[in-house]
Structure 1
């Protein structure tokens, strides 16, 4: 199957890059010069994988990761990618629909590797999120599901001083965020010439974890207080998504719909102060007298944003959601590749306006470590979601879980502990992804970048541009000082 870099993929109408030359090479598993002509091996996808590939591009259906490097060894990148695909051949395959879902055909069609020569002198220090369609090759999800487009693309944009932007896109049906970083880390190890353990691609254990209908309904009764039923919403989604997806995808690629998160930097020292000031000095019996950096930082976000965007008459009931990796809870290897290995854990907080920073952080900690975010709870939530997917009731479930009546919602995906990848020419100098919701990514030299999802403002019914700007400025200007342990309005 011939693949055209312009077919079904992103070539932004506003593309600001002055391109001198562009070449596309198809990278296949080592030793495979062409696509397989005999009957290839098949990898059956779970119903839970389907969920992550059915929505338009703004829903991170085919998300990108873009990294900035001061120098790039192109030949080393291509050779090592061939080795990585040999170990993980499904990424070089194509999807095929079946009567009851989808499967990956390991036919070696390959991964398009696009190399662009720009006339611009130097790569930008940061790839702003709205410019991702200029640097990455997005494929439209319907074409990916139909097998007309690849499951993964790579684009390298080279600048005159030798710097470059390496962008990687993939189908969420195969790789969630953790899986994407696992695959990229493996590829980077091969590029450096290091001995590397291939990611786990076996899916047998995952299949064993999928509950039957009876167990799914038991979990639903426990988790959401009712059993799942087919609803009109699922039928409406099935009608509207295929109709609207082409329009939404076009808006994403050419007007950057949804690529509008706000980037804010926090240094290691600032994070350390936030953690110190969020650590409780007094706790209730049975509570821990410590919190993690993530819990402290998220408490600080809730406190600061709530101060500036909650209406004056709001009761201060907020929903804090964390995107957690469930591999440990499921007993799967840490390097297990899967499309849906992450699950949302939701924490409800009342009286936000009256809480101190340690009180907020302590509640998040207790919920994440012992209650809503415990390993047992993570496993139950994942099994419930995947059992619901088997019966095509996942949208009903997601409505029950996420549509809470609250004054503000904030959801966070913490990727700040992941390494800045080194493909043999030094670690990346910056990284960005459009996978959401609000995203924490590592910063060069330590610290992190917060990419804040503007949905937090709409959840609080804050439409004032002035208030939004004040809240964003406060994230930097209102950092706690040591020894304060202050309240929201202190």
Structure 2
């Protein structure tokens, strides 16, 4: 079958369709590609070129973001559902023209920008008849490697956006009728806030086909240090190399924390309780409260506990060695004047907090939590601008990874609307998962809990021996819920 092309954008999804027999055999044998197509925006873009910012450029060496959603079986025939997804995607791309473009480097000055040229995104329809929700979402077990096959563009580095789609989507039917919708997006083009804003917009247009606009339009003004003249140059036009070792042995698991467990951690972090020596090894005698307005947050409390527990689980570390906990900080509201909360692009900085292994492992939770809290609380306009100036003086890609084996990098956020707003017309998602991209020993991602109320799920990637030791940590596991309830999901 020859590819068919509709060359004029219209109210219908504009697609280039390819027969499955023409596709490369790069999927797991468990996942069969049925159709692959290119979806174009339903309106011609009028957006100007979008220059990569000081927060976009460092991401060129990172893999694309890969996040997706599991859904219970829909009561919609698959052919109709496929049409709904592609048509609404076409409409959504008109509001987010950067996703349907390509990266371009100006040969004269080396500036890299997004050309909103309407070349479209990749959309894959696949089937996995031997996979099901219970198999892919097992309770209290490692994440099955088969989840990685539910995403398109595996192995794409953000610099590849010069010649590969900036975004790609895979819609997979599972054997039990459940669905997975995976999104792969260039990390030099979007951060988590932009990623989930787009996902929400796509879902909104899918469940409300007559909607003319979207409720949360992206801000395309590129005003996050848009006046910077800094560029990154790559000799030989080969692009950057990934900064961490790919293929090292890893175990990946989702740890779920109920809202009650997180409240308990927050109380400990703010020194408001006294725990028994039998359970925790020592008492917290200092019950003083953090000053008003200085309260350690729930998420900082959870991060501190994970830092302590994982550091203890890394048996090979010397007590006097440094350990660093990095978290991505959304700078949209932290600079003066602030930028729009729906600013399209990266507006983040990586915030490291460093201490000695022995102190993190042995001191109380409140000590580590306060370190994290003080660092985040100080990260406002002056510090952000200082970080930008330092980067402009020596432009470089972000060194993602864990070279000394003692670090943790926390990505994503429990505040992202992963469940809220992602009903495509047949019900809310039942689980969030990510692909193989940007995973290494010490890479964590935080998701909102499935049932809301302040619950949090943390995707944890660790070396096998460290994961085994972490699961044996009684203090840590005290806070972890029993895990994913497959029966509840299937009954949803």
TM bracket (short chain): 0.7 to 0.9
Q: Distance in 2 between matches of 1:304 and 1:393?
A: 35
Which of the two has greater helix per residue? 1
More divergent stretch after superposition (352-361 vs 307-316): 307-316
1:287 and 1:366 in contact (8 A); partners too: no
Q: Distance in 1 between matches of 2:83 and 2:52?
A: 33
TM normalised by structure 1 equals: 0.73
Of residues 407, 410, 415, the one that matches 1:409 is: 407
Structure 1's unaligned 5+ residue stretches are 214-233, 458-464, 482-490
Q: Distance in 2 between matches of 1:202 and 1:210?
A: 17
1:431 aligns with 2:432: yes
More divergent stretch after superposition (414-423 vs 467-476): 467-476
Q: CA RMSD in A?
A: 4.1
Q: Distance in 2 between matches of 1:27 and 1:51?
A: 28
Distance apart, 1:349 and its partner CA:
2.9
Cross-structure match for 2:366: 358
Distance apart, 1:167 and its partner CA:
0.6
Q: Distance in 2 between matches of 1:320 and 1:466?
A: 20
Q: Distance in 1 between matches of 2:21 and 2:372?
A: 46
SS at match of 1:307: helix
Cross-structure match for 1:63: 65
Cross-structure match for 2:396: 394
Structure 1 pair 327–40 and aligned structure 2 pair: CA distance change class (3 A): closer
Distance apart, 1:200 and its partner CA:
2.6
TM normalised by structure 2 equals: 0.72
Q: Deviations over 1:347-385 (max 9, x none)?
A: 22342244211222223222221x2x3454234324543
1:91 and 1:111 in contact (8 A); partners too: yes
1:152 aligns with 2:167: yes
Cross-structure match for 1:442: 448
Structure 1 pair 314–429 and aligned structure 2 pair: CA distance change class (3 A): same
Cross-structure match for 2:89: 81
Distance apart, 1:469 and its partner CA:
0.9
1:94 and 1:107 in contact (8 A); partners too: yes
Q: Deviations over 1:255-299 (max 9, x none)?
A: x66875333222222222222222224459968663211111111
Q: Distance in 2 between matches of 1:301 and 1:410?
A: 9
Q: Distance in 2 between matches of 1:403 and 1:159?
A: 35
2:55 and 2:347 in contact (8 A); partners too: no
Structure 1 pair 243–109 and aligned structure 2 pair: CA distance change class (3 A): closer
Within 5 A, what are the aligned runs for 1:46-125? 46=53, 48-53=55-60, 55=61, 59=62, 61-72=63-74, 73-99=81-107, 100-120=110-130, 122-123=132-133, 124-125=135-136
1:130 and 1:260 in contact (8 A); partners too: no
Q: Distance in 1 between matches of 2:178 and 2:147?
A: 17
Q: Distance in 1 between matches of 2:171 and 2:431?
A: 15
More divergent stretch after superposition (406-415 vs 69-78): 406-415
SS at match of 1:167: strand
Of residues 13, 24, 27, the one that matches 2:36 is: 24
1:192 aligns with 2:207: yes
Of residues 328, 333, 336, the one that matches 1:323 is: 328
Q: Deviations over 1:208-249 (max 9, x none)?
A: 453789xxxxxxxxxxxxxxxxxxxx99x857975977xx99
Distance apart, 1:115 and its partner CA:
1.0
Q: Deviations over 1:172-205 (max 9, x none)?
A: 1211222111111121222232663343342342
Q: Deviations over 1:285-316 (max 9, x none)?
A: 96866321111111111222233325585137
Structure 2's unaligned 5+ residue stretches are 6-15, 75-80, 273-286, 481-492
Q: Distance in 2 between matches of 1:329 and 1:8?
A: 49
Cross-structure match for 2:298: 293
Q: Distance in 1 between matches of 2:30 and 2:415?
A: 31
Q: Distance in 1 between matches of 2:390 and 2:254?
A: 34
Aligned residues: 422
Structure 1 pair 144–409 and aligned structure 2 pair: CA distance change class (3 A): closer
Distance apart, 1:410 and its partner CA:
2.0
SS at match of 1:427: coil
Distance apart, 1:10 and its partner CA:
8.4
Q: Distance in 1 between matches of 2:193 and 2:218?
A: 12
Structure 1 pair 98–349 and aligned structure 2 pair: CA distance change class (3 A): same
1:126 aligns with 2:137: yes
Structure 1 pair 6–147 and aligned structure 2 pair: CA distance change class (3 A): farther
Cross-structure match for 1:202: 220
1:343 aligns with 2:341: no
Q: Distance in 1 between matches of 2:104 and 2:17?
A: 16
SS at match of 2:333: helix
